[in-house]
Amino acid sequence: MTITAPTPTPAATHSSADPTRNHVRAAGIFYLVTFAASFPALFLIGPVLNDHNYIIGGGHDTRVLVGCLLDFVNALAGIGSAVALFPVIKRYKESLALGFVTSRTLEAAVIMIGVVSLVAVVNLRQDLAGAQGTDQAALATIGRALVEVRDWTFLFGGGTMPAFSAILLGILLYRSRRVPRFMPIMGLVGAPLLLTVNILTVLGHNTQLSVVSAVATLPVALWELSIGLYMTFKGFKPVR
């Protein structure tokens, strides 16, 4: 008697062909969440960034706090993208994969410092602005200092650490050939540009909101967006 082996279902075939698919999809979704959270956050916290006397003025506290919450989500999603991807990429070079997780974690930590500084501005405004006996000039100075802290965390966190992440993950994905080659190339080309512009900003030869900064940020931003979309909807190419 001949026994015929059962034909595997499409789901089973896909799972056995790529057991890491769920990790990759989760990492892609987390990457997209960082975009969905960070851009609205930048718009929502605009009043406190642009008004030097926000802490003693009328304020748009709810709007600013929602923006801070979105930045908090952005920070957590950054860590989530690295943690989800680590089991997949560590097989190609574990030290680089661990460095990638570390860079994303450090980026999130620096972003959170900025979030805390803006929440402090809102709380101080609510508790002390206009209060009897409060030195309004001193309070305004404290508010400006806290906003400056946030500006520098934006440069070193969301502005600089993605360049290191792009280098580490870009090398891993370029070597593994699990994604189209142009994607990691975008990150590997864009990272040095972004680092150079940020160094010039620290040295006072550039500003964070200049056209040069925007152009230098674009390749790394496109790299992160493309890899997020690719991992979410297509997944990595099969292992060769």
Q: Could you tell me if residue 79 is inside a domain?
A: yes
Q: Could you tell me if residue 101 is inside a domain?
A: yes
Enter the tokens of residue 200. 């010039």
pLDDT tier, 93 (very low <50, low <70, confident <90, very high otherwise): very high
- Give the pLDDT score at 11: 42
Q: What is the pTM of this model?
A: 0.88
pLDDT tier, 73 (very low <50, low <70, confident <90, very high otherwise): very high
3-state secondary structure the chain: CCCCCCCCCHHHHHHHHCCCHHHHHHHHHHHHHHHHHHHHHHHHCHHHHHCCCHHHCCCCHHHHHHHHHHHHHHHHHHHHHHHHHHHHHCCCCHHHHHHHHHHHHHHHHHHHHHHHHHHHHHHHHHHHCCCCCCCHHHHHHHHHHHHHHHHHHHHHHHHHHHHHHHHHHHHHHHHHCCCCCHHHHHHHHHHHHHHHHHHHHHCCCCCCCCHHHHHHHHHHHHHHHHHHHHHHHCCCCCCC
- Give the pLDDT score at 203: 95
Q: Could you tell me if residue 134 is inside a domain?
A: yes
Per the structure, how many domains does the chain have? 1
Q: Could you tell me if residue 3 is inside a domain?
A: no
In percent, the amount of the chain with pLDDT more than 90 equals: 79
- Give the pLDDT score at 205: 93
Q: Could you tell me if residue 4 is inside a domain?
A: no
pLDDT of 213 over the 80 cut: yes
Q: Could you tell me if residue 70 is inside a domain?
A: yes
pLDDT of 97 over the 80 cut: yes
In percent, the amount of the chain with pLDDT more than 70 equals: 92
- Average of per-residue pLDDT across 98-124: 96
- Average of per-residue pLDDT across 41-69: 92
pLDDT tier, 129 (very low <50, low <70, confident <90, very high otherwise): confident
Residue type at position 131: A
- Give the pLDDT score at 240: 66
pLDDT of 13 over the 50 cut: no
Contact between 176 and 240 under an 8 Å Cβ cutoff? The reply is no
Domain residue limits at 145 = 20-233
pLDDT in tens, 134-176: 788 899 999 999 999 999 999 999 999 999 999 999 999 999 9
Q: Could you tell me if residue 11 is inside a domain?
A: no
- Give the pLDDT score at 58: 75
- Average of per-residue pLDDT across 203-214: 91
- Average of per-residue pLDDT across 84-102: 96
pLDDT of 9 over the 70 cut: no
